[in-house]
Amino acid sequence: MHHRESGKGASPVNWRLIDTGPLPGPENMAVDEALLTCFNPDSSVPLLRLYGWQPPALSLGRFQDAAAVLDLYRCRADQLQVVRRITGGGAIYHAEELTYAIVCSPHHLPHAATVKDSFRILTAFLLRFYRGLGLNAAYAVDLTPDSSRLGERTPFCFAGKESFDIMLDGRKIGGNAQRRLKNVIFQHGSIPLRNMVNEGVTYLKESHADLNDAVTALADNGVAVREDELKESLSKAFSTAMTTELAPSVLTEEERETADNLICSRYGVDAWNLFGEAL
């Protein structure tokens, strides 16, 4: 079953809204990759996926060395699942967060001439979402006179700042990463509901200074954490920012089968998650 756009010259196509709810880490990453690989840049309808993590998990950037970054003994002792993303960046501890994924083609973003343009366009809904909650949200690049400080590599994702990371009164909230594959754009990112960063860093090999002054979450800013309401607000912010409508959707049979296969062959095995071996 393929979702197809109406013909050329038609009104802007609706985007699919897929809310998979909270899932284990391997399934989350398998669904993200399945949505990317099943996407036909010429005929597929662009999509926004919303999801959560249950139980909590830790994700690594595509090229991170698990043994160098993580205290794997502690991860195993606490039965914390470790999964490797298809996107780059640092380690992320996923708990008490709302996560999104976007899959589209460059032609769905007509004003994005560069990768940076696409990042700004595909994170604009987050700015609108946070500002709609009464929060003082801005891009890191707009707050950092010395832009050379942006993009520094850190083992822990939330400790570093990229140009289009979002700041609330000077503290970073969440993180976003993008990957391109055969004329398809994939982006995912996190919206922390409660600040779990200090729990997350306990699974890293290197100790980090208290990050509470550097990162924040919705609950830190007095936002009531009601997930259904926040999802609705986020969906409205996305529709407005992207001038589109979101049509509730579910995984197609092809997407579901692809995800199931990826759990077996990739996200359920250490060869990929810990060693990054493409299987």
Catalytic residue numbers read 157
Beta-bridged to residue 261, according to DSSP, are none
CB neighbourhood size of 175 (10 A): 23
Give the other-Cβ count within 10 Å of 166's Cβ.
22
Nearest to 123 by CA among 144, 138, 142, 133: 138
Give the pairing of strands 57-60 and 81-84.
Answer: parallel
**Cβ neighbours, 10 Å, residue 8:** 5
| Cβ–Cβ < 8 Å for 134, 69 | no
Who contacts 200 (Cβ-Cβ below 8 Å, separation ≥6)?
A: 58, 91, 92, 93, 95, 156, 158
Report residue 171: phi and psi, to 5°.
-110, 140
One-letter amino acid at 259 equals A
In 3-state terms, what secondary structure has residue 217?
A: coil
Helix extents (H) in the chain: 25-37, 66-69, 72-77, 115-132, 140-143, 197-201, 227-241, 253-262, 270-273
CA–CA gap between residue 71 and residue 57 (Å, rounded): 14
